[in-house]
Amino acid sequence: MKELGMDTLNNSKVIIARERINRPLDKMNSKSNKTIENNEYSKSCPFCRGNEDNISDETYVINKDSKWIIKSVKNKYPIIDENPLNEIKGEHEVIIDTYKHNGNFYNMIEEEFYNLLLMYKARFNSLKKDENVKYICLFKNYLREAGASLMHSHSQILSLPFIPPDLENEYKVCEEFYKKMGINMYNHLIIQEIKNKKRVIHDSENFLVFVPEVCRFTGDTVVLFKSNTYFYDLNDDNLKELSIILKKLFERIYEEYGNSPFNLYIHTHPVNIEKDYKDKYNVHIHIVPRKFNFGGFELSTGMYVSSVKSEDIANRLKYD
């Protein structure tokens, strides 16, 4: 049976068609057989430590034992324009997650995640100083299937002079919920999901990791901050807790699905804007596995098809 559902966080229309999981290439159990690069250094990689001549201006560097371990640089091929007269003026930086060519979210240790989160926060704070910036977009593509053009693990941060449509949608959904129910939708969701248990992957002091009941992108795993603090106000303890979660969650994904492609993005409040949805919106991270791909139907209609139950995905990744 098919059903029409709405993505829990942004109200996108989703067709739920569970039996499609039996299609030959869509098997949820299939594990990626891609191997992880062996070498810590590659001569031809512009992001490797030692090949600094090949990359453009650094904006921020974290060092250890007087050598860089993470750095942010201006993107050589920015999505947006640096010209202040252009209506899509902004900055686009590439954050090299680790100096190691073979490092990635599946093998990074807690300390590496913590340093990377410090880098995310530092660049976020710096980019929001420009008052024309209304939203800061932080994301990561891992492997070609997820849009990565270079294999060396990296993230990207962009400042935008407007709020992107998907965020407008999320803000609208939580604002309507607030108007109707008089409470923050995310708080409501946290209480419901913890009570229900089935879609929860992990529940820690300040974060809930779960798979929303209906997701536009199958397997969309959400790491939700339990309070409505701004991303740039997450304190040191929060970042430490989050780094433990990311380390463990990616370890679990690797155990279940192997070295598989994913996108990760942080959704947060707008900046330099009075109406910033502070009481209604909670920062969260989406981790979208790219093993359940989409095709012509999705492109031609803007609707998504979900073939896997969120409960089944959560159940596989669950940990204490």
CB of 44 to Zn ion, least distance (A): 8
Q: How far apart are CA 173 and CA 177, in angstroms?
A: 6
CB of 83 to Zn ion, least distance (A): 30
Q: How far apart are CA 48 and CA 71, in angstroms?
A: 11
User: Toward Zn ion, which CB reaches closer, 52 or 237?
Assistant: 52
User: Toward Zn ion, which CB reaches closer, 47 or 105?
Assistant: 47
* Under 8 Å between Cβ of 190 and 34: no
CB of 102 to Zn ion, least distance (A): 8
User: Toward Zn ion, which CB reaches closer, 166 or 298?
Assistant: 166
* Under 8 Å between Cβ of 235 and 289: no
Residue type, position 88, single letter: I
- The residue number whose beta carbon is nearest to Zn ion equals 45
User: Toward Zn ion, which CB reaches closer, 21 or 62?
Assistant: 62
Q: Which tokens in the block code for residue 197?
A: 């248990």
- Does residue number 281 form part of the binding site for Zn ion (CB under 5 A)? no
Q: Considering only residues 90-109, where is the footprint of Zn ion by CB under 5 A? A: 101
User: Toward Zn ion, which CB reaches closer, 126 or 271?
Assistant: 271
Q: Considering only residues 154-213, where is the footprint of Zn ion by CB under 5 A? A: none
User: Toward Zn ion, which CB reaches closer, 26 or 37?
Assistant: 37
User: Toward Zn ion, which CB reaches closer, 126 or 155?
Assistant: 155
Count other C-beta atoms under 10 Å from residue 146's C-beta.
16
CB of 23 to Zn ion, least distance (A): 28
Q: Report which secondary-structure segment, H or E, holds 26.
A: none
What residues does 306 pair with on adjacent strands? 16
User: Toward Zn ion, which CB reaches closer, 152 or 309?
Assistant: 152
Give the closest residue to 316 by CA, choosing from 202, 208, 215: 202
- Does residue number 152 form part of the binding site for Zn ion (CB under 5 A)? yes
Q: Which tokens in the block code for residue 232?
A: 């740039």
- Does residue number 303 form part of the binding site for Zn ion (CB under 5 A)? no
Which span (40-48, 62-70, 90-98, 178-186) binds Zn ion, by CB under 5 A?
40-48
Judged by CB under 5 A, the residue of 7, 28, 47, 114 near Zn ion is 47
What three-state secondary structure class fits 145? helix
Judged by CB under 5 A, the residue of 12, 14, 28, 48 near Zn ion is 48
* Under 8 Å between Cβ of 105 and 127: no
Q: Rounded to an integer, what is the distance from CA 44 to the centroid of its chain? A: 28
Q: Which tokens in the block code for residue 35?
A: 């191997």
Judged by CB under 5 A, the residue of 140, 248, 267, 280 near Zn ion is 267
* Residue with token string 């248990």: 197
- Does residue number 280 form part of the binding site for Zn ion (CB under 5 A)? no
- Does residue number 45 form part of the binding site for Zn ion (CB under 5 A)? yes
What three-state secondary structure class fits 136? strand
The upper half-sphere exposure of residue 269, i.e. CA atoms within 13 Å in the direction of its Cβ, equals: 24
* Under 8 Å between Cβ of 146 and 263: yes
Which residue ranges make up the site for Zn ion (CB under 5 A)? 42, 45, 47-48, 101, 152, 267
